[in-house]
Structure 1
Amino acid sequence: MMPPRFGRLKNLQLVTDFVVSKDLRSSKISKLGQLSHHQGSFPSKLQSVVITNCNNLTPQKQWGLHGMKYLICFKIEGGCSEAELFPEEQLLPNTLTSIRISGFPNLINLCEGLHSLTSLKKLEIGCCVKLELMPKEGLYLNLHSRVITNCTNLMPQKKWSIHGMKSLTCIKIDGGCSKLVVFPQGVLPNTLTYLCIRNLQNLINLGEGLHSPTSLKKLKIKHCKKLNKLMPKEGFPLKLQSLFITDCESILPSTEWGLHGMKSLAHFMITGGCSTMELFPERGLLPDSLISLCISRLPDLKYLVNGLQHLTSLKKLGIDCCKKLELIQAKGLPAFLSSLRIRKCSLLALRCDLQID
């Protein structure tokens, strides 16, 4: 913990002898825009280091982080304005389980200092607009979770060696990747259970990228305006339990997706987009294993008919902000539906009292 009001020292340039307490567990250095030097060692039992908005401060070997046996969390956000490579080898200890690198304006290469982090479980990379390269030797195989946010020039590639990571279960990509049009096949590992892709403005084809993760259980796709191909040729992974699609203007749910035969799919949500769809769902679109269904902000949807009656497992149905929706056929609703929520559907006229026999 920093001394009281330490963050107000905007012109501080040097911090010496940082051993405040031998038993200190967490240290946070933030908003010291002129701080460029740190001398002296950190407390030996320190478990967490967070550096925020110290533009001129770049972690160095003489800090002694590499030898700290208890350090498990390292976050550096909004700084290192001159750094093009990070982290150098033997800068960080192999005890780290979580690292976040964010807001490096000139960072081009995540270098080999990451490969040696044998205990690393979670890696977050954000707002590094010039970042292009990952470590040549790849990342350590025990990585569980990877988050990439707003890295404009970064492109998912096979040479990242993600496919061989047997422990990697979660990947999130949010923004950036401006040149990515087709998500490459063979990048994602078959151990992946959760994939979230958001704000990839030029992505058109995700389908073949979903061929490999056979263990995928949850898929979220949001704000990918040009995306028009979602399904791989062989169909979605059979273990998929949740599929959420939000504001993908070029996507229309289709029986060609093969959802009807997916016995594990329990949750389906579609929000926004589908600007030409007046009727939902078409017959044979959804599987009878579905437990919850959410339909929201479909601007041209008029009729909710037919394709719901066979959903014998459906318990929860939500319909929100479908301003042109006129008709719900009550006799077509599943017999065991326990929750029906309808909000902001101004033209909706129920043709019966929705009593389910």
Structure 2
Amino acid sequence: MEVSEISEPMEFSMGLNTNSLTINEYDYLEFKPEELTSVQHLYINDTYCIKSFGGHAFTALKTLCIQKCKELEFLPHAEGAEQYALDKLSIGSSCDSLISLPLGFFPNLTRLCIWDCANLESLSMPEGIHNKDLLKSLKTLDISDCPKFVSFPKRGLPTPNLISISFSNCKNLKELPHELHTLNSLKSMTISDCPQLVSLSQGGLPPRLSTLSITFCDKLMLGKEWGLHKLDCLRWLEIEGGCKNVYSFPDENLLPSNLNSLRVTGLSNLKHVNCKGLQHLTALKTLKISHRFLPQD
């Protein structure tokens, strides 16, 4: 069900059998969340009719997408709240009051996407809960354009089956989640425009990564501590910008032998391509190493 083009104040109610609801651009709708306890898919876009979300009213939801609702308060820990059945959660350009998202309320999530949340600082876990499998269903995590985002749960992400992770344009993010190397299902990792990021992971990268893209992370330094040579499943590697410690690329034994595609561009101090570091890449099909200061042989 979709509700649209309401120009005068009106009260909105519906039967309990409504499965899906989309609300777009309404200032005048008098919304009663307690009447929508059976809604499973809710899409809210650019509206002021819902002032807050949380508690027991939406415990049946499977999908929640909130866009362009800056003033909406997202309160998963509100009185009466229990663990939600949410499968997909998207919050974009919304919820300016949201400082920390408590993951413990969403054990069934398969996809979590957050973008342009101006004051979001962290993903958190309740005190005293250390279950590393709490979000065992989560497959995709994407956070972008969150300028104040800086931290994750202290013991790392409780996401043993995570497949794809992406952080983009998080200007104050200095480090990635702890214990990334324990995420054995992770296949794709994209890190872009995080200028304060100083390291990837103290314990190394996930062992089954097949795709890794790191672009415009100015303070990140490339080295063997990344453990790229240990990533036997890595097939696609992109590095653009940052890595100001690199004058010659690649060092011998830096890269895994099974790479199919290697793209390295925009390294400001790169002067030399070390062919010896490429000789063992017998599976390589695509190679691009470029910078305007490289000598032309």
TM surpasses 0.5: yes
Where 1:159 maps in the other structure, the secondary structure is coil
Deviation of the 1:106 alpha carbon: 3.2
State the TM-score, normalizing by the size of structure 2.
0.83
1:131 has 2:104 as partner: no
* Structural mapping, 1:332-347, within 5 Å: none
Q: What residue is the counterpart of 1:14 in the other structure?
A: none
Q: What residue is the counterpart of 2:135 in the other structure?
A: 165
Q: Which amino acid aligns with 1:74?
A: L
Q: What residue is the counterpart of 1:76 in the other structure?
A: 44
Residue identity over aligned pairs, in percent, reads 28
Checking the alignment, whether the CA contact within 8 Å between 2:216 and 2:241 is kept in structure 1 is yes
Distance of 1:58 and 1:39 partners within structure 2: 6
Where 1:156 maps in the other structure, the secondary structure is strand
Distance of 1:310 and 1:55 partners within structure 2: 63
Length, aligned pairs only = 289
Q: What residue is the counterpart of 1:217 in the other structure?
A: 187
Give CA-to-partner distance per residue, 1:206-238, whole Å, 9 cap, x none: 262525423211111111001011122x32121
Distance of 1:75 and 1:143 partners within structure 2: 16
Deviation of the 1:116 alpha carbon: 5.7
Checking the alignment, whether the CA contact within 8 Å between 2:111 and 2:140 is kept in structure 1 is yes
Pick from 115, 124, 127: which aligns with 1:149? 115
Give CA-to-partner distance per residue, 1:298-331, whole Å, 9 cap, x none: 33333222211111111122345x22222xxxxx
Distance of 1:236 and 1:272 partners within structure 2: 20
Q: Mark the CA change 1:297 to 1:115 in structure 2 (over 3 Å): closer, same or farther.
A: farther
Distance of 1:257 and 1:101 partners within structure 2: 36
Q: Which amino acid aligns with 1:101?
A: I
Q: What residue is the counterpart of 1:16 in the other structure?
A: none
Tell me, which stretches of 5 or more residues in structure 2 are unaligned? Answer: none
Distance of 1:286 and 1:238 partners within structure 2: 14
Give CA-to-partner distance per residue, 1:142-170, whole Å, 9 cap, x none: 21011111222341112297941211111
Where 1:66 maps in the other structure, the secondary structure is coil
Distance of 1:289 and 1:36 partners within structure 2: 63
Q: What residue is the counterpart of 2:10 in the other structure?
A: 37
Q: Which amino acid aligns with 1:60?
A: K
Checking the alignment, whether the CA contact within 8 Å between 2:136 and 2:158 is kept in structure 1 is no
Give CA-to-partner distance per residue, 1:326-357, whole Å, 9 cap, x none: 2xxxxxxxxxxxxxxxxxxxxxx3x3xxxxxx
Q: What residue is the counterpart of 1:61 in the other structure?
A: 33
Q: Mark the CA change 1:61 to 1:109 in structure 2 (over 3 Å): closer, same or farther.
A: closer
Checking the alignment, whether the CA contact within 8 Å between 1:246 and 1:273 is kept in structure 2 is yes
Greater relative contact order, per chain length (Cα 8 Å cut-off, separation 6+)? 2
Q: Which amino acid aligns with 1:79?
A: T
Q: Mark the CA change 1:116 to 1:28 in structure 2 (over 3 Å): closer, same or farther.
A: farther
Pick from 104, 129, 136: which aligns with 2:69? 104
1:312 has 2:282 as partner: yes
Checking the alignment, whether the CA contact within 8 Å between 2:176 and 2:200 is kept in structure 1 is yes
Q: Mark the CA change 1:276 to 1:187 in structure 2 (over 3 Å): closer, same or farther.
A: closer
State the TM-score, normalizing by the size of structure 1.
0.70
Q: Mark the CA change 1:55 to 1:153 in structure 2 (over 3 Å): closer, same or farther.
A: farther
* Structural mapping, 1:294-305, within 5 Å: 294-305=263-274
1:323 has 2:296 as partner: no
Q: Mark the CA change 1:220 to 1:133 in structure 2 (over 3 Å): closer, same or farther.
A: closer
Q: Which amino acid aligns with 2:68?
A: G
Q: Mark the CA change 1:129 to 1:274 in structure 2 (over 3 Å): closer, same or farther.
A: same
Checking the alignment, whether the CA contact within 8 Å between 1:122 and 1:143 is kept in structure 2 is yes
* Structural mapping, 1:191-270, within 5 Å: 191-206=161-176, 208=178, 210-232=180-202, 234-270=203-239
Deviation of the 1:294 alpha carbon: 1.3
